[in-house]
Structure 1
Amino acid sequence: MNLRFFALASASVLALGVVGAQAADLTYEPAPVVAAAPAAFNWTGFYLGVHAGAAIFDGDYAYGNYAPSDDNTGFLGGVQAGYNWQFDNIVIGAQTDFAYTSAKISDDVVDAQNKLEWLGSTTARIGYAFDNLLVYGKGGVAYGQSKIESVAYGDDSKWHTGWTAGVGAEYAFTQNITGLLEYNYVDLGSKDYTFAGGVGASADLTTNVIKAGLNYKF
Structure 2
Amino acid sequence: MKTISLFARTSMLAAPLALATGMASAGGISEPIAAPAPAPVPVAPPPIDLGTDWTGFYAGGQLGFGRLDSGAIEDDDDPEGALYGVHAGYNYDFGSIVLGGEIDYDLTNIEIDTPEADVESVARAKLKLGYDAGAFMPYITAGAARVETTDDLDGDTDGAFAGLGVSYMMSDAIILGGEVLQHEFEDVADNDGADVDATTLSLRASFKF
TM range (shorter): 0.7 to 0.9
Which residue does 1:83 correspond to in 2? 90
Question: CA 1:29–1:158 in 2, change beyond 3 Å: closer, same or farther?
Answer: same
Per-residue deviation, 1:87 = 2.1
Runs of 4+ aligned structure 1 residues displaced above 6 Å come to 7-10
**Fraction of identical pairs, as percent:** 24
- 2:63 pairs, out of 32, 52, 59, with 52
Aligned mates of 1:187, 1:50 — CA distance in 2: 23
Gaps (5+ residues) in structure 2?
1-15
| Deviations 1:127-171, CA, capped at 9 Å, x for gaps | 2222332221111110111123xxxxxx66311211111111112
- 2:29 pairs, out of 2, 8, 11, with 11
Question: CA 1:10–1:34 in 2, change beyond 3 Å: closer, same or farther?
Answer: farther
Instruction: Output the amino acid matched with 1:53.
Output: G
- 1:136 pairs, out of 136, 139, 144, with 139
Per-residue deviation, 1:31 = 3.2
Decide whether the 8 Å contact of 1:192 with 1:202 is kept in 2: no
* Alignment RMSD: 3.0
Q: Which has the higher strand share?
A: 1
Aligned mates of 1:47, 1:103 — CA distance in 2: 28
Per-residue deviation, 1:96 = 0.4
Q: Is the partner of 2:29 in helix, strand or coil?
A: helix
Counterparts of 1:98-109 in structure 2, within 5 Å, are 98-107=105-114
Instruction: Output the amino acid matched with 1:165.
Output: A
Which residue does 1:64 correspond to in 2? none
Aligned mates of 1:130, 1:94 — CA distance in 2: 19
Which residue does 1:146 correspond to in 2? 149
Aligned mates of 2:66, 2:96 — CA distance in 1: 32
| Deviations 1:155-203, CA, capped at 9 Å, x for gaps | 663112111111111121222222211110111222357xxxxxx9974
Decide whether the 8 Å contact of 1:75 with 1:103 is kept in 2: yes
Which residue does 1:190 correspond to in 2? 187
- 1:213 pairs, out of 187, 204, 207, with 204
Decide whether the 8 Å contact of 1:171 with 1:178 is kept in 2: yes
Aligned mates of 2:199, 2:153 — CA distance in 1: 24
Aligned mates of 2:163, 2:82 — CA distance in 1: 18
- Report the TM-score, using the length of structure 2 for normalisation: 0.76
Q: Is the partner of 1:103 in helix, strand or coil?
A: strand
Aligned mates of 1:97, 1:166 — CA distance in 2: 14
2:159 is the counterpart of 1:168: no
Question: CA 1:60–1:171 in 2, change beyond 3 Å: closer, same or farther?
Answer: same
| Deviations 1:66-104, CA, capped at 9 Å, x for gaps | x72551221111111111222231211111000111112
2:68 is the counterpart of 1:68: no
Moved more, 200-209 or 84-93: 200-209
Instruction: Output the amino acid matched with 2:142.
Output: G
Gaps (5+ residues) in structure 1?
62-66, 149-154, 194-199
Moved more, 124-133 or 201-210: 201-210
Question: CA 1:215–1:36 in 2, change beyond 3 Å: closer, same or farther?
Answer: same
Larger radius of gyration: 2
| Deviations 1:11-34, CA, capped at 9 Å, x for gaps | 33x53xx34xx23x2x23523444
Decide whether the 8 Å contact of 1:57 with 1:104 is kept in 2: no
- Report the TM-score, using the length of structure 1 for normalisation: 0.74
